[in-house]
Structure 1
């Protein structure tokens, strides 16, 4: 074989290896938008987490408004965000060593208990964006404006904020959104407000004339006039994979989309930690009319004193405020 041909083949092989290496580190999938597509739905389908939709928006900066995408458009999906499990290599057994020493009597050892490995119950994105019910609307300031004239914000966007007390560079706040006041579906009693955590903002400029912050983390879309509350550490609930279903009955009092919810949506119930609820607890939900019909299975992901936040694990019809929850049937 001639020397030029060998060099040409070597160059082709190098380019192929380089492209394969790049693809492994940053996989992108092209998605052609169809009718009724939203970034939320695409993120749920492709990335298995609807709250990662800001990552898709960031990958496609030509989309000026994430609420408006149109059939026929092609967008890039950053599927490299999916965690890939790498199988552990099994160590090859070592050959038995032949011992010339006299055989000693075997000493029986007590089995050492294997520690149970715990894993997060949900992702931090899901936990933060799911929110909670509060008696009142907290807040020490608001997002007031942006230099670019935007009204919707995501990761790394810069905003002007108004705060009740002087802030300094480095101060962090949660950006929150509050619902209308929630009433109990049966008693009509005021329960509070659904507070959803939209993201984290950090002060980058603090002067008497203006205070500027940068969105360092976005869990869901952030809007003008969203409120600010002081930052605090949040710990993920951990689980061994074994879940309770205690004999506690209660009612769905609100849903994340304000009316009806289905699988992977968020709902809020009228029982909490002081009522015996724990993160990880599983219940079935029932729609009660002429008959009580099971319409889903929910799992608690966080709880406060007398309310809790849950995610819908499965449903065969929408789950609505007024549906009841109860323990799973015994097998």
Structure 2
């Protein structure tokens, strides 16, 4: 196992946040770590970091670019080369380069950087200026497709906030549920100039798994629809869905989501939270699931923070214990995975599960990573 201690503070690298002023455990490189990776379309910074680190969210600690490059992953394009080496004091670092003389990212983007050129078995380094190319699609911190639908509209609403929103009152041919390309009939469209909509299920209460009190009301995102005929009722066609859509579901005007190039950092050390729900599921969560936490800005959580998810230790019967009264033993909690907080309200947060060794359940414990 390869370990490196690091004294690099997140706030010194990125200029944002103070959470990294706290001591962090030594970095561990991934097993069979490569010395370089050629960026391909579909890569994310998290994916790339996972090739080099056992804790991919700690990539800002060893990503040796300037502050603006760290803040904006759009400096990194398919065809670029991410390679691993060490600083003068033995710390691991990732650096960005591209083959000299062209390559898939001949335009590149950003400021001056050192780039490798492989000639035979020798790697030459040469500084070059990287000029932005607006026609080239850069990579992001995480895949936007996983969270994009959950950024453009509040998921946490007032108890009766959606009561007056446009609603589906019937389906074509009496279908029970609607999916892509199906037609529904809607009443309550006040603005007939709007043609693109997002579909939500009416708000349902979220209960704290500890206190059992209602701490928020959540409107579940179901999909998108477009207006195909005005009137009362108006006619809409479902253009996408994440869950089945039916009578009584609400429509709100669609807005373009504000995508952020998230920079991960750990949640505060004193965080103690629980999983309130697995978004869009009545079962268990897994990698890429969205989970709801019973902590938000009031508890110090911020967008971009990483949390650890723990499975509670189960109670077992120790048959080796001669004293029957002492046979019940509770096993220790086990760290199950990591999640990335991308949406924060007062007392509720939404996080994307980035890693899960086992299914995630409601009431699982959440702490700093």
Does the Cα contact within 8 Å between 1:237 and 1:301 map onto a contact in 2? no
Corresponding residue for residue 339 of structure 2 = 298
Secondary structure of the residue aligned to 1:222 is coil
**Structure 1: which 5+ runs fail to align?**
1-46, 49-84, 94-110
The aligned counterpart of 2:309 is 285
**Conserved 8 A contact 1:132-1:308:** no
| 2:145 matches 1:121 | no
Report what 1:27 is aligned to.
Answer: none
Larger CA deviation: 123-132 vs 316-325: 123-132
Q: Please state how far the C-alpha of 1:178 moved relative to its aligned partner.
A: 4.3
Match of 1:213 in 2: 236
Deviation at 1:86, TM superposition (A): 5.3
- Go from structure 1 to structure 2 and tell me whether the alpha carbon gap of 1:259 and 1:219 turns closer, same or farther (over 3 Å shift): closer
Taking the aligned partners of 1:122 and 1:152, their CA distance within structure 2 comes to 29
User: Superposed, which structure 2 residues align to 1:168-247 within 5 Å?
Assistant: 168-178=192-202, 180-208=204-232, 210-240=233-263, 242-247=264-269
Bigger proportion of residues as helix = 1
Residue 305 of structure 1: how far off its partner (Å): 2.0
CA distance in 2, matches of 1:303, 1:137: 21
Residue 73 of structure 1: aligned partner? none
User: How far has the Cα of 1:119 moved from its partner?
Assistant: 1.9
RCO comparison, higher one (Cα < 8 Å, 6+): 1
Q: Indicate the residue corresponding to 2:155 in structure 1.
A: 132
Contact 1:249–1:324, Cα closer than 8 Å, also in 2:
yes
- Contact 2:267/2:301, CA 8 A, preserved across alignment: no
TM-score (norm 2): 0.52
Q: Distance in 1 between matches of 2:78 and 2:357?
A: 34
Q: 1:292: Cα distance to partner?
A: 2.6
**Superimposed CA distance per residue, residues 100-138 of structure 1 (whole angstroms, 9 cap, x where no aligned partner):** xxxxxxxxxxx9998998725342453426983444254
Aligned residues: 226
Segments of 5+ residues of structure 2 without an aligned counterpart are: 1-41, 44-76, 81-97, 103-126, 133-137, 314-329
Query: Aligned partners of 1:155 and 1:244: how far apart in 2?
Result: 39
Match of 1:75 in 2: none
**Quick one: distance in 1 between partners of 2:146 and 2:211?**
33
TM-score by length of 1: 0.57
Q: 1:258–1:122: structure 2 CA closer, same or farther, 3 Å change rule?
A: same
Deviates more, 1:270-279 or 1:125-134: 125-134
